[in-house]
Amino acid sequence: MPVIFAEGISKSYRRHKRQAGIKGLVKDFFRREYETIPAVRDISFQVNKGDFIGYLGPNGAGKTTTLKLLSGILLPDSGSVKVLDEEPFQRKREFLRKIGFVMGSKSQLWWDLPAIDTFRLMQDIYDIPESDYLSRLSSLAEILNVVNLLEIPVRKLSLGERMKLETICSILHFPDIVFLDEPTIGLDLVSQEAIRQFLKWYNKEHGATILLTSHYIRDIEELCERVILINHGRITFDGTQKDLHTIYSNYVLIDIENSRGEISLEQAEKQIQIGNTCRYLIKKIDLPAVTARLDSMGSESRNLRELSFEEVLKIKMQDEG
């Protein structure tokens, strides 16, 4: 049964536009110009209870806007949104008690106070009974290994330590749905892994529904069976990791070192220059002809391999760009 239902939702922003220099300043003083930027365009999808979904796309694709629409921070220009059978933008108290939102670029914690003070505020906001609050905080802090950080002013903590505490702050009330917008951004590998394992535990232990945006492919590979790709505000793919990989299952990559693209392969579906290496996307059926051509040219510094999940994602997003 879907707990998130989005049907044909669109959202645009009106942005101030001004020319550079004194002339632009004077013109702007008398008549301001604006431009309309479409953020999401007619997107539709459903999410079932307990799903852990990766919501991916390049910068500016519409990922954060989508999460804000689903959480009620923004009102859609058109289309319908239902989350837990509620219209999110009505911001009903009971609805807000059932969702959590972690934004890697923004903080909920008071900068000059220990995190424990913010947690106490969250306890009051969400009416968490004292016994539940203490047991939850103890359990979450233990799992994320931040027991000794609760009473240290937030400004004295590292980014990784702060993000662990931000995550606790967002799910202290044990929400049914969690929206995660780049929760591991800027973190070291150890901190990334700690948060991944924590989210995996929370999803499994509490049956929570989680939507995750991330530019770290390992986050998606380890946590999300289903992937939704968005580009230029439109959904370009919705399916499992296996489905996405199957799209390019009949292709291989050939890397030719010390090449500046001077080797032309007419069978190549795509050619990418990476430093001194030229990368070609080749259909497996064309591989014998390509190999024969490279052999005739004496090209020995080459590497042939299957596509990784990260490379599949990059190529798919470039194709839809």
**Domains present along the chain, CATH in parentheses:** 2-21+32-241 (3.40.50.300), 248-319 (3.30.70)
Q: Output the pTM of the full model.
A: 0.85
Asked whether 165 and 92 are in contact (CB, 8 A), the reply is no
* pLDDT tens sequence across 155-190: 999 988 998 999 999 999 999 999 999 888 888 888
* pLDDT tens sequence across 87-124: 999 999 999 999 999 887 678 899 899 999 999 999 99
The whole-angstrom separation of Cα 207 and Cα 136 is 16
Determine whether 238 is exposed, middle or buried from the number of CB atoms within 10 Å of its CB (0-12, 13-18, 19+): middle
Residues near 280 by beta carbon (within 8 Å), at least 6 away in sequence: 253, 254, 255, 256, 265, 268, 270, 271, 290
Give pLDDT, residue 259: 61
